[in-house]
């Protein structure tokens, strides 16, 4: 590591004088505030599962199905067309959204969780829910969690009279209705609070789904024991409640979300706002549109499933209008990652590009893996609705954005990778840009984005790749060999983001683990030296 040269007294005095001159001569506030005439808004975050950039018809002129309610969010708000999830699969993206911190800083370096696991969000870490709850919001989550829960007992010896622990109610939410993880991971029941009304005491395994491409179902009949499931379906299976049916998820989640909005309407209209986090299970497998949506669109069951999802978003928006909450409710809509690998088959069979013009999809470090739909609608707050914003943002930025909206300052150990994009709500000519953004693939690959440049960092035996996304958004032309200085600069930025434990300015923070092998471009000794000082 190079030594730091101590500046001379004359240099220090010159720097101080120059800084004072700049400060006193500046005609704009250093930290502008953005006021509206409206009271604190209700906030709803709608999070779809495996929806690609091209799966909203307003973003894809060649889409083979229409999504009028997604499109309405964009038309009546802002469409961020350079928005990214913080990872390319479920668990780490959800962690990033809720905490404002990259999940690769935790113990989860690759892959996703199952249903049963110590929650990835450690106790005491600020989340969207705890931030808002501590500022007077009632907070609720309805939908898919997928960040780990502590269930009572082991698979063969559960005691479902005991509460589920280390779950949404322990991470800032006042109310929870939903399921623990993706449907293929099991422990499937309709959990409300810390208990399932019908406990998951039966067993099942994935069954063929003839509706969709390369898919499965989780539906009755179920077996009473794991051994019976093994005999019937060839595997010991997953735990499931007798009343659980996969195709009911979207309806049940939306029904509960509407019930929640209705229950909070009077308080909200009297100045006691609510926060609702609504992570849907669609269009993640199993792709199971209800019968009334079949035959719609021209992209098979997948398109029908998204049409159904869009319909439920419309139901929720109607409920807001009926409760006189529509005007002052801020809705943020996005997806946890790019489309499942069946995007390839949809191109061949239906000529529908779930990834839009971007390369690859879910799990990938390329743009199709992490560039996602991102709409913000807030009639009482957003200025000049119908805008398209091309500023780069990351879902980790939601935490800082809401904190600034509420005039709250995050402590040094919260939202380490979260930068507010609140100015975009109110200024159509904002020139502020985000700091460098890190992308992360399912197997541990990293990429860094700064301005128009994206560098895919060396990974194991793979060499670095460099793309200019302004001229080559589809990442077809690797120009690393032509821009060695840019590669070096971006590599140094990526190193700093890892070693500092944060993207944002402030006191360096430790990552949760020591060095790991995916940091191919960083020397282990440099990592350990940086952490020794934190």
Q: Is residue 159 part of a domain?
A: yes
Q: Which helix (H) or strand (E) holds 96?
A: helix 90-99
The answer for residues whose C-beta is within 8 angstroms of residue 123's C-beta and 6 or more apart is 170
Q: Is 468 in the same domain as 349?
A: no
d(CA 155, CA 229): 14
Sheet holding 42-49, edge to edge: 195-196, 191-192, 175-179, 138-144, 274-283, 42-49, 329-335, 374-377, 78-80, 387-389
Q: Based on the domain organization, do 474 and 360 belong to the same domain?
A: no
Residue 516 belongs to a domain with what CATH number? Answer: 3.30.1120.10
Residues 452 and 415 in one domain: no
| pLDDT value, residue 430 | 67
In a domain, 220, yes or no: yes
User: Alpha-carbon distance 138 to 273, whole Å?
Assistant: 7
3-state secondary structure of 487: helix
Print the domain residue range for 492: 445-532
Residue 30: count of CB within 10 angstroms of its CB: 6
pLDDT score recorded for residue 534? 76
| 455 and 314 housed in the same domain | no
Alpha-carbon radius of gyration of the chain: 24
Q: Give yes or no: residues 359 and 469 share one domain.
A: no
Determine, yes or no, domain membership for 150.
yes
Q: Please give the pLDDT value at position 400.
A: 98
pLDDT confidence of residue 344: 97
3-class DSSP state of 272: coil
User: Is position 35 within any domain?
Assistant: no
Identify whether residues 251 and 333 lie together within a single domain.
yes
Q: What is the mean pLDDT of each run of 10 residues along the chain (534 residues)?
A: 35 35 32 57 98 98 98 98 98 98 98 98 98 98 98 94 98 98 96 98 96 94 96 95 98 98 97 98 98 98 98 98 98 98 97 98 98 98 96 98 97 98 86 90 98 97 97 98 98 98 97 98 96 82
Residue 437 pLDDT:
98
CA-based nearest residue to 491, from 456, 527, 452: 456
Phi, psi of 377 (to 5 degrees): -130, 130
Q: Residues 256, 115: one domain?
A: yes
- The predicted pLDDT at position 39 comes to 85
User: How many angstroms separate the first and last alpha carbons of the chain?
Assistant: 16
Where are any strands of DSSP class E within 294-382? 329-335, 374-377
What is the domain-level CATH number for residue 160?
Answer: 3.40.720.10
Same-domain pairing of 356 and 469? no
How is residue 528 written in tokens?
A: 């350990």
* Within a domain: 118: yes
The reported pLDDT for the residue numbered 20 is: 34
Q: How many CB atoms lie within 10 A of CB 526?
A: 15
**300-322 helix and 343-350 helix, angle to the nearest 10 degrees:** 110
Q: Is residue 223 part of a domain?
A: yes
Residue 15: inside a domain, yes or no? no
Torsion of CA 61, 450, 359, 415, to 10 degrees: -90
> CA 97, 102, 107, 112 torsion: positive or negative?
positive
pLDDT of residue 474: 98
Q: Are residues 279 and 167 in the same domain?
A: yes
Q: Which two tokens stand for residue 8?
A: 């001379």
**Does residue 299 sit within a domain?**
yes
Residue after which a domain boundary falls, among 426, 453, 479? 426
**In angstroms, what CA-CA distances link 158 with 4, 162, 165?**
58, 9, 14
> Do 205 and 117 sit in the same domain of this protein?
yes
User: How far is it, in rounded angstroms, from Cα 322 to Cα 16?
Assistant: 58
One domain for residues 411 and 508: no
- Please check whether residues 315 and 193 belong to one and the same domain: yes
Q: pTM for the full model?
A: 0.93
Number of domains present in the structure of the chain: 2
Which residue, 365, 391, 426, sits at the end of a domain?
Answer: 426
Task: Give one DSSP letter per residue of 392-446, joined into a string.
Answer: -EETTHHHHHHHHHTT----TTS-TT----THHHH-TT-------EEEE-TTS-E
Q: Which of 375, 393, 426 is the last residue of a domain?
A: 426
User: Tokens standing for 184?
Assistant: 């293929």
């Amino acid at each position: 590591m190079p030594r730091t040269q101590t500046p001379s007294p004359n240099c220090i005095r010159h720097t101080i004088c120059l800084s004072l001159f700049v400060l006193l001569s500046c005609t704009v506030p250093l930290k502008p505030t953005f006021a509206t005439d409206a009271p604190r808004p209700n906030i709803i975050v709608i999070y779809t599962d495996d929806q690609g950039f091209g799966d909203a018809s307003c973003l894809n002129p060649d889409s083979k199905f229409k999504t009028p309610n997604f499109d309405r969010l964009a038309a009546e708000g802002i469409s961020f067309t350079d928005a990214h999830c913080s990872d390319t699969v479920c668990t780490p993206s959800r962690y990033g959204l809720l905490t404002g911190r990259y999940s690769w800083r935790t113990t989860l370096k690759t892959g996703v969780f199952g249903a049963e696991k110590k929650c990835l969000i450690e106790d005491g870490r600020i989340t969207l829910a705890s931030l808002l709850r501590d500022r007077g919001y009632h907070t609720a989550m309805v939908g898919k969690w997928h960040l780990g829960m502590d269930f009572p007992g082991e698979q063969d010896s559960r005691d479902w009279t005991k509460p589920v622990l280390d779950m949404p109610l322990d991470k800032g939410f006042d109310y929870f209705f939903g399921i623990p993880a993706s449907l293929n991971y099991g422990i499937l029941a309709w959990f409300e609070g810390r208990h399932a009304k019908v406990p998951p005491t039966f067993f099942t395994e994935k069954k063929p789904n003839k509706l969709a491409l390369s898919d499965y179902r989780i539906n009755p009949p179920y077996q009473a024991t794991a051994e019976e499931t093994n005999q019937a379906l060839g595997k010991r299976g997953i735990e499931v409640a007798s009343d659980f049916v996969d195709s009911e998820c979207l309806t049940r989640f939306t029904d509960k979300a509407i019930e929640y909005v209705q229950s909070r309407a009077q308080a909200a209209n009297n100045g006691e706002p609510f926060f609702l986090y609504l992570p849907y299970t669609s269009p993640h497998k199993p792709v199971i549109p209800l019968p009334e949506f079949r035959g719609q669109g021209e992209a098979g069951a997948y398109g029908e499933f998204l049409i159904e999802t869009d319909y439920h978003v419309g139901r929720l928006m109607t409920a807001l209008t009926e409760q006189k909450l529509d005007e002052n409710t801020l809705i943020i809509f996005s997806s946890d990652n790019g489309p499942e690998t069946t995007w390839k088959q949809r191109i061949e069979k239906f000529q529908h590009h779930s990834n839009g013009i971007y390369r690859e999809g879910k799990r990938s470090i390329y743009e199709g893996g992490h560039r996602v739909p991102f709409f913000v609608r807030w009639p009482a707050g957003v200025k000049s609705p119908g805008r398209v914003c091309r500023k780069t943002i990351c879902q980790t930025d939601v935490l800082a954005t809401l904190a600034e909206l509420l005039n709250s300052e995050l402590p040094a150990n919260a939202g380490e990778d979260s930068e507010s994009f609140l100015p975009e709500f109110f200024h159509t000519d904002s020139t502020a840009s985000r700091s460098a953004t890190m992308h992360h693939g399912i197997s541990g690959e990293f990429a860094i984005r700064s301005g128009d440049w994206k560098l895919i960092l060396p990974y194991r035996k793979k060499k670095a790749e460099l793309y200019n996304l302004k001229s080559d958004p589809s990442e077809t032309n690797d120009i690393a060999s032509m821009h060695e200085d840019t590669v070096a600069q971006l590599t140094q930025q990526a190193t700093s983001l890892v070693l500092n434990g944060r993207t944002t300015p402030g006191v360096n923070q430790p990552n949760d683990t020591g060095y790991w092998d995916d940091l191919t471009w960083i020397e282990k000794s440099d990592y350990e030296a940086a952490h020794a000082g934190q």
